[in-house]
Structure 1
Amino acid sequence: MTEKPDWTGRRLEVEVGQVAHGGHCVARYEGRVIFVRHTLPGEVVLAEVTDDPGGGFCRADAVEIRTAAPGRVEPPCALADIALGKDRCGGCDFQHADPATQRELKAAVLTEQLRHLAGLDWPVTVRELPGGALRWRTRARLAVDQKGNAGFRPHRSHRVIPVEDCPITVEGAISEVADRRWRPGAELTVAVDGAQELHVTALDRKPQKRNQRPVARQVTGSGVAHEEVRGRRFDVAAQGFWQVHRSAPEVFTEVVTRFAAAEPGAVAWDLYGGVGLFAAELAEQVGPGGSVLMVESSKRAVEDALANLRDQPQVEFRAGTVEAVLADDELVAPDVVVLDPPRKGAGRKVVEGIAAREPSRVVHVACDPAALARDVSLFAEQGYELAELEAFDAFPMTHHVEAIALLRRR
């Protein structure tokens, strides 16, 4: 059997086709599929192969644009310039596209995933969130190189590219950590809360003493972020989960509440409930005569939720995995379920556990098109159909997109 040649490092002129899930577009060369980053559909580019697994596809980066698509623009960040090659920052996939084109690309991906994985012909429109395409990100994670410089990693690499600023992150957040030296190998979490307090946490990956576990230390700020959504204050651990786009919590809560439409006295579940953002609104809907079960695996998040919703006695809190809680046969069956699973999606066990209780409505919040489409397909097997879907560009300049789906029992 003839061994296939390794194309890594080879430069190929290709015509770029449709956008694919993952921040790249699809090209073909000598019968192989090439996933090319930093391109737009319809372009002709010179692409350098960066990874060749040896099968029917390989990965590549555009190094020269020979025929540009109409939506192409100069990246707002110098570290996204294709001329940098392997020294490009890997945090943004779509800085070379204008905001409208970015939303079109994301809509195309979500539409295709629903068609391919769920068998649905559901054209999607991705909506812009308030605030524009820059300075929207309130939280970021950085790595530290061997010289003590904070920065971001290139795509599919462990190297660190030092940075002075990041144009998608709120003003001042990155410059605060870029101006000083850190312990080599450390990881930094930066958060700017609704009160404009900056929180910087450092996790030293190389402890000073043998067998000492890495310990997070608060460098700047209290470590507790103060947020406000729809008139309610939420206190959140600065390292914990909170939507990173400054406008996302308000917008997403409005959509989730509208889709849930829980009636007074109803039973609602909020799965993967975080610090109680959606549970607070569900509690308002069901009122004192109803009940809300909030499930969250992070004990710290549950503690925060208890404090955030202490004026809502109709909310019951469970600290544990959703799978484990759903195994409890004594749970009161819900009228409506809201779930906001991690990027991988809910999966079969959770979907079947929800469907077995026969809620009339399920509101699914998703940050990955493929995971959402897989879950929608699983719900379809259990007798639920997609009734409404709203998608948002909650991560401008990246390939990520947020979608909120309403599923109704047939």
Structure 2
Amino acid sequence: MGAMAEKVYGFYMPTVSLLGLGAVKQVGQQAKVLGGTKALIVTDAGLARIGVADQIKGYLEEAGLSVTVFDGAEPNPTDLNVRDCLKVWQDNGCDLLVTLGGGSSHDCGKGMAIMATSGGDIRDWAGIDTLQADLPPYIAINTTAGTGSEMTRFAVVTNTDTKVKMVFCDARLTADVAVNDPGLMVGLPSSLTAATGMDALTHAVEAYVTTLLSNPVTDCLAMQAIRLIGKWLRKAVANGTDLEARDAMAYAEYLAGMAFNSAGLGIVHSMAHQPGSLLGKPHGVCNAICLPVVCEFNLIANAEKYAKVAELLGENIEGLTTMEAAEQAVAAIRRLSRDIGIPKGLAAIGVTEKDIPVMAENAMKDVCTLFNPRTVKVADIIELYKKAM
């Protein structure tokens, strides 16, 4: 028996994770455990308008905390947005962060907390393991079954000067408490359910096929996430009040987050980040459009795993060669996108051919490109963008 080469796997998780219908009612109790006295809820205007922020504020106040709400988290939050949030944190002497929403709220809150604890400007801290201090006590409450941001060590904030998304990856960015309550997702519009669901699928697929950091633990998580999304996403889009579908998607989203939090992502995300930062396009939709195109490109790098993706999505691969089965994964992803109403290409959401060169250059520099299973050049990314149009 030959000697094994050394290989150490990292695995990152929130200290406490609460999942299931009614989980959000424990927020006050968790805030007290963390020692919070003055909470800042970071959320978006929509969740504030429909009363969800007030609901969370009530739970925290019942536990004896004073609460301030910042409802200015923007889609694809920017460095300016994060600075505005920091001012509210400082002006109110807050000591507990609660982010409420999808990825944008979590990213805005994490970006604010970086500056509150590590100092300087948010731009100073982009990259991997750069932070100088722990975040304040932090509870992340998720309202979409997509981004995984409530439980990961990642944050993404747009630099308003360069129009590039800065990626932050640091274990210190992981929430102390992550909450996934499907009851908070019932009112989500079908288009947003579709986009966030495809975001979760992208996380699972990319984490599964990366060859650098994926490991037996992340593979198990990614496979179950893919299986659940293939079974339940259509139902969640078709009927947003289907609590069984919402619960399954909340679970799937969390598993996918666990997978990519440790295994990394790939060039689907590198490519999807660019229309988001440059043009303000929705992240989940950009991922959904780029996913089958990139999978097709990556097939030769990890055909065995793509064949398994096809099987997990419900395809009958009996009698097929490995590559034929892998190609069925691409077809299954395209069919799922079509069934739930994802736009047919980047052109349909306003991306133009003239945007491609700068997007490709920026995608090549994106940290996610490091983990793609197939080596890629700028010329490859340009061709992939053209196919995704």
* TM-score calculated relative to the size of structure 1: 0.25
Q: When you count helix as a share of all residues, which structure comes out higher?
A: 2
- Higher relative contact order, structure no. (Cα contacts within 8 Å, ≥ 6 residues apart): 2
Structure with bigger gyration radius = 1
